[in-house]
Amino acid sequence: MTRRHLAIAARTVAGVAGGYGVGSLVAIVAACWLPLSRADAATAGTLLGLLAWPPVVMACFYARSATRAWTGLLLLAVPLGGAAMQATGWRP
């Protein structure tokens, strides 16, 4: 594989796997923080997570390099992960 193919593969993995991770974190945070019944909050959180996934995938391909795509994912995932841990009451 050429270097160009590896860069495309890295962005694809970042977009699909990283986008799924960020979308899942958005769903968790939204489901825990929305002032709705449990079922409605879970449904709304899932829908918000599904709405967050495509822009993240597109941003990974819009980034100048795969490194920037992964850095952007990390910058999104860290605060969302912290908010998800705080919202669910998880303590390390």
In percent, how much of the chain has pLDDT > 90?
A: 77
Q: Which residues of the chain have pLDDT under 50?
A: none
The pLDDT of residue 92: 67
Give, to the nearest 10 degrees, the angle between helix 19-33 and helix 38-62. 150
Q: Is the model's pTM score more than 0.85?
A: yes
DSSP 17-29: IIHHHHHHHHHHH
